[in-house]
A and B are shown apart, each in its own frame.
Chain A
Amino acid sequence: MRLVESVAKQVLSRHGLKAPRGIECRTAAEARAAADELGGEVFVKAQVAFGDRAGAGLVRRAAGAVEAETAARQMLGSEIEASLVESVLVEAAIEAVESFYVSVHVDDEERARVLRVGSGGGAGYDRDEAEVQVVVPRHGLELFDIRNLVGRLGVRGAEREVLARAVAAVVSAARDWHAYTVEVNPLFLVEDGALAIDAKVELDDYSLAAVPDPGLLPDQVEADRERRAREYQQSDHRGSFRYVQLIGESYDGARVGSHSVGGGESLVVFDALESVGLRPANYCDTSGAPSQEKVAFAAALIASQPEIDGYFFSSCIANQPLSVTANGLVEGFRRAGWRGPTVVRIAGNEEAEARETVSAWAEAEGVRARVVGRELDEWQAAELLRGLLAEGA
């Protein structure tokens, strides 16, 4: 789970690292009022989890309330990396005495968390340039260890102590919140301490029950369908079920509900759809012997997206009984009232029976559907869906 900046900063604040005064706003009028309240120059920052916000013009300096309102109006409702901007953070602009980069990332080569601290920091900073890059030992890092490490950056005395304590906050947040990533970039040293100017936190989805303060995790970091999928998965553990919303309401190209069996297969399907100019509205994987009801829930969730033009289902050569999956699929289509162009590609166990189930549904409902098997690959099947969409256009 990737936390938006405002929530990431609250996590860090629990560990003693503060952020500039800021107010989260959902409308341009709120942004104007917030800038008035803060006074002076402010930053207006789109609250989406990650992505190159600065590069996309989603972090802007505003001289006052009017500029803040304009910036917020332009940002709200825009889209970056398939996420919709639903709120902005209006934050007091800060003058730094000194600026740093601090992060703790899980490194797949080291199979451990790696701490990085560097001078400068800010947009475009390359973390591989950081002066301090150390593996965090299993037993953690003590404050004195960190004091020794940050000495490499040439800081001494009070500055060194402030920096060491800020770094310690990042290290302990990463450990206690079971995070893949905690990054503060930049960290400003100011007259009376340290401030996190920007922060990124990504938590492990499988450790959410173990975080120190679950109440801090807001609904807004997940799209509504993502939340419903996750909650369903918690109630029915048979097999995997992962849903990721990719396109917000602002997208107006041709889009496809995407449903696959297998985590690798789902990514293959994206490549296949792209090859014929179709764009997935969502990611959804139901695999590892899911129940019929789970597949039905997923299919209804996908098919009920108001603005999809077609539905694409594909499986890798799966062990799971695909007749169960097929029954779930058509049940979900019925629940959602889905009758749009549909391609279902079924490969693996009980393939023939599963295909028959979907074909019978399509015939009974008069749906323009193509039901295929392993004789066609994902690219050829995607071509069929493009054909169906073109016929209907």
Chain B
Amino acid sequence: MAFLVDESTRIVVQGLTGSTGKLAGDMMRAAGASIVAGVTPGKGGRSADGTPVFDTVEEARAVGASASILFVPAPLLRDAALEAFAAGMSPVVLMVDGVPLDVSLELVTAAREAGVVLIGPNSPGVISPGKSLLGALRADFYSPGSVAIVSRSGGMMTTIAYELTKAGIGQSTCVGVGGDAVIGLDIPEAALLAEADPETERLLVFGEVGTSQEERLAGLIRSGAITKPVYAYIAGASAPAGKRYSHAGASAEGEHGGAVAKRRVLAEAGATILDRYTDARRL
């Protein structure tokens, strides 16, 4: 089972012929992912490391592609993402950092209207260890099991997975929702997917200052929509408020979105708060 991606996910890489696309393609194949197509407008008919390349996502869909990840230059991002939505790819992963706010607002809205699960922008992707990877993550730090990780930080997701793996605790699916303020799939939505996944027994969340995602997760726990045990580490309790850090979503305004308040509402809802993320070893 797992969620978002598994053995049956058939991937198109938009931008497979570029250097970043190639690198990520190699990481995905190493993680067992099935890449069925690449798309680079103007390069249709070629192949990249044995994978057929098409001009359009529609053509990739015709050979079975169901999910997409984009490695395209910034000026082409909007068009490429809308093309993926129009062709019904889901999920679609946007790894790119620094997407202008109004482009993000447009893409996130368009994905919702198309019924597509958009992961990102500024996401490292999603991995179901031993099954598939739609992203750029080192699969060897992950191991199959029953803990889902939902993280606002890509680097910390891998770091926590490493700690879990070292302690003999495997993961069902790990998704980096992205560090931006405006993202597609968010922590509450990912948590609901984890709740519905029979293979996932527990949920580990890496949260940080800014946005209302952790507060809304607490609401889902309180309402009974999330019943599986939730463990959370919220970074930035000591980060001065009123600043925007490198994750564009990491910005607290006084009490609004502060790490201390997030920890409190999650604890009150029944989640277990970790003082250090390394406490996950003892999960």
Contacts and interface: CB of A to CB of B under 8 A. Distances in A.
A270 interface: yes
A317 B159 contact: yes
Interface stretch (A17-25, A188-196, A239-247): A239-247
A266 interface: yes
A111 B155 contact: no
A262 B243 contact: no
Interface of B is mostly: loop
B246 A240 contact: yes
Contacts of A273: 238
A105 B25 CA distance: 38
Contact of B155 (A108, A206, A262, A283): A262
B181 A246 contact: no
A241 B171 CA distance: 31
B245 A244 contact: yes
A106 B151 CA distance: 21
A317 B141 contact: yes
Interface of A is mostly: mixed
Given A207-B100, A207-B101, A111 B245 contact: no
A82 B138 contact: no
A270 B239 contact: yes
A271 B208 contact: no
A126 to B, nearest CB: 11
Given A50-B253, A112-B109, A270-B238, A264 B162 contact: no
B42 to A, nearest CB: 23
Nearest to B181: A108
A81 B206 contact: no
A109 B184 CA distance: 10
Contacts of B206: 264
A124 to B, nearest CB: 11
A347 B166 CA distance: 14
A387 B237 CA distance: 23
A263 B101 contact: no
B228 interface: no
Interface in B229-247: 235-247
A287 interface: yes
Given A108-B249, A178-B100, A288-B97, A271 B235 contact: yes
Contacts of A270: 235-239
Interface in A170-219: 178, 180, 202, 204-207, 210
B236 A267 contact: yes
B282 interface: no
Contact of A240 (B97, B112, B158): B97
A49 interface: yes
A106 B100 CA distance: 13
Contacts of B238: 270-271, 273-274
Contacts of B78: none
Contacts of B222: none
Interface in B216-266: 216, 235-250, 253-254
A108 B245 contact: no
Contacts of A246: 240, 243
Nearest to B106: A138
Contacts of A138: 106, 109
A316 interface: yes
A26 interface: no
A83 B244 CA distance: 13
Interface string A358-380: 00000000000000001001110
A198 B138 CA distance: 49
A81 B255 CA distance: 13
A315 B98 CA distance: 21
B99 interface: yes
A331 interface: no
Interface in A252-282: 261-268, 270-271, 273-274
A269 to B, nearest CB: 9
A316 B153 contact: yes
A206 B100 contact: yes
B105 interface: yes
A80 B243 CA distance: 12
A45 interface: no
B180 to A, nearest CB: 9
Contacts of A81: 240-243
A374 B141 CA distance: 13
Given A109-B216, A264-B206, A318 B240 contact: no
Given A106-B181, A242-B245, A285-B246, A52 B239 contact: no
Interface string B144-183: 0000000111111011001000000000000000010111
25 contacts: A81-B242, A83-B242, A108-B182, A108-B186, A109-B186, A109-B216, A111-B109, A204-B100, A205-B248, A206-B99, A206-B101, A207-B100, A207-B102, A210-B100, A262-B153, A263-B153, A263-B245, A267-B250, A270-B239, A316-B153, A316-B159, A318-B155, A319-B158, A347-B159, A374-B162
Given A82-B242, A283-B245, 20 more contacts: A82-B240, A108-B249, A178-B102, A206-B100, A207-B102, A263-B153, A263-B155, A264-B154, A264-B155, A264-B156, A264-B235, A270-B236, A270-B237, A271-B235, A316-B158, A317-B138, A319-B138, A349-B138, A377-B277, A378-B276
Interface of B: 97-102, 105-106, 108-109, 112, 136-138, 141, 151-156, 158-159, 162, 179, 181-183, 186, 206, 208-209, 211-213, 216, 235-250, 253-254, 276-278
Shortest 3 CB-CB distances between A and B: which pairs?
Answer: A264-B153, A316-B155, A262-B155
